[in-house]
A and B are shown apart, each in its own frame.
Chain A
Amino acid sequence: MIVGERKPLEEIIDSLEGARKVLVAGCGTCVAVCMAGGEKEVGMLAAELSMAARLRGLEIDVTQATAQRQCDREYLETLREQVKGRDAVVSMACGIGVQYMALHYEPLRVVPGINTDFMGANLGIGEWVEYCQSCGDCLLAETGGICPIARCSKSLLNGPCGGSSGGKCEISKDTDCAWQLIYDRMAKLGRTDRLARYRPPKVWKTSRDGGPRRLVREDQKA
């Protein structure tokens, strides 16, 4: 899922400069699951904004609503009544939701309430780890189901660098060495011989490096 975290209150207040009627809009999918921008977090931010406004002697009317998904027009449309008459919307969705909200209700001032961090998995309570960088050319079959693009600090393709030590990455003792994980997994699968093969330079054009990406499926368009 997409993992995000709340922006600092001060930054959100600054981005709302001049707005008197504000809607805080949550998203009920990924960011709700990672407890950054769902209904509960919307309620908290709305309360914080109201209190901060009062403390500054400002009269700001803060309302709240949450759509099931902000990356989908049908669900965005369910917010039409709540958006009406608002000077600004704080979208607590990921960067996709923020942009889609701004497009769907154009011209509407939409500011982000969270930072979109990465695509990852929830390893335990309060802990998420990046697992995928959407490079557009999945090589997990070759690496025992562990992605070196997302999980190696240097996105190396031919094995660990010299900084791998005791299963950890050179950048931090809190970061696992992806290539140690890959090696261990491939050993369990009896497939370490595959890691001895030279892997040529990666084709990055399927990644963001090829420019903004677009997927068109003719079979779906018909």
Chain B
Amino acid sequence: MKSGSNLEKVLSKGEFALTGECGPPRGADVDVIRKKAGHLRGYVDAVNVTDNQTSIVRMSSIGASKVLIDLGLEPVMQMVCRDRNRIAIQSDVFGAYALGIRNMLCLSGDHQSFGNQKDAKNVYDIDSIQLVNVVYTMREEGKLLGGDEIEGKPSMFIGAAENPFGDPFDFRPIRLAKKVAAGVDFIQTQCIYNMPKFREFMKRVVDMGLTEKCHVMAGITPLKSLPMAKYMATKVSGIDIPKEILDRMEGVEKKKRAEEGIKLAIEQIQEVRQIPGVHGVHLMAIEWEERVPEIAKGAGLHPRPTLE
């Protein structure tokens, strides 16, 4: 075991993993996390805690991850390169590990021009692939960037994201290979709606032998409504929602669209489960955590394995 985290155990035993997501509150209200945790407990193997996603200021990922630990859930602490230089990043990895955090997801981060702090200075001292390597080198060699020895290795289970729908498509599997070379253990993909394109991506990734070196978890986000689907299809860069899916959502009456979104998510999970190289699902039910149990059950992913 590299980290001994539950997520690592589930994936390394060859079980089909399921992770959820918890966006921290826009403030210090712990009840928001308690509520979300209540919906997710027992239904997922670990919970991603976002790091100021879309550049909107929220409770820190480290802080909210610690709250989840206290509530009996295992966090996947997300960390973006937008806000911290290499000094803060390395320091925060130590601090996170000291608080009991064992999984982390290394991300570039949404540019600050999206959020509520548009006047901020952006950092990007290192990029997400370099971040993977920084955390890997800490775990494997006990060294900081620059080679200084560290006191107490933070042994994280290291994740990263990949967007099969980002451009240029041909470079995406190569980029994943770079993450594998940098030391990544698991990958969670951007939410998938264009299944044929995802299949092609996975085929290339499998052919390159990458799924033998890391666990790829397919990202699924249930659509709550037609406006949400349209917004994501047209306004969110790197999200690819084919017309058939928009038509399908539009084709049912308004009050039944949420149910249709859940049904679609369950079908997508069942579909990705059949794709070679996919080792799990990352279920991002954005501000819709209360529907995670029925999606997990509907997709046949409940109960979750308990591993020693």
A interface residues with partner B (beta carbon < 8 Å): 153-172, 177, 179-180, 183-184, 192, 195-196, 198-202, 204
Residues of A within 8 A of B215 (CB): none
For B113, the closest partner residue in chain A by CB is A171
Question: Which one of B129, B145, B168, B190 contacts A162 once the chains associate, using CB atoms below 8 Å?
Answer: B190
| Given known A154-B111, A198-B181, contact A160–B166 (CB-CB < 8 A) | yes
Give chain B interface residues in 79-98, CB to chain A under 8 Å.
Answer: 81-82, 86
Q: A200–B131 Cα gap in the complex (Å)?
A: 10
Give the distance to chain A from B54, nearest Cβ to Cβ, in Å. Answer: 11
Give the distance to chain A from B210, nearest Cβ to Cβ, in Å. Answer: 12
B interface residues with partner A (beta carbon < 8 Å): 81-82, 86, 108-111, 113-114, 122, 124-130, 133-134, 145, 161-163, 166-168, 170-171, 174-175, 177-178, 181-182, 190, 237-238
Residues of B within 8 A of A159 (CB): 129, 171, 174-175, 178
Q: A157–B125 Cα gap in the complex (Å)?
A: 10
Closest 6 CB pairs of A and B: A162-B163, A170-B237, A158-B129, A161-B108, A163-B237, A162-B166
The A interface is mostly helix, strand or loop, or mixed, namely loop
Give the distance to chain A from B81, nearest Cβ to Cβ, in Å. Answer: 7
Cβ–Cβ contact B133 & A200, under 8 A: yes
Residues of B within 8 A of A157 (CB): 127, 130
For B125, the closest partner residue in chain A by CB is A204
Q: A59–B189 Cα gap in the complex (Å)?
A: 67
Give the distance to chain B from A192, nearest Cβ to Cβ, in Å. Answer: 8
Cβ–Cβ contact A164 & B167, under 8 A: yes
Q: A171–B108 Cα gap in the complex (Å)?
A: 14
Cβ–Cβ contact B238 & A165, under 8 A: yes
Q: A160–B169 Cα gap in the complex (Å)?
A: 10
21 A–B pairs (Cβ distance < 8 Å), ordered by A: A153-B122, A154-B81, A154-B109, A159-B178, A160-B166, A160-B171, A161-B108, A162-B190, A163-B237, A164-B168, A170-B111, A171-B111, A171-B113, A171-B114, A177-B167, A179-B168, A180-B168, A192-B171, A200-B133, A201-B126, A201-B134
Q: A144–B113 Cα gap in the complex (Å)?
A: 28
Cβ–Cβ contact B110 & A158, under 8 A: no
Cβ–Cβ contact B133 & A198, under 8 A: yes
Cβ–Cβ contact B178 & A161, under 8 A: no
Residues of B within 8 A of A156 (CB): 108, 124, 127-128
Question: Which one of B129, B162, B237 contacts A168 once the chains associate, using CB atoms below 8 Å?
Answer: B237
For A183, the closest partner residue in chain B by CB is B168
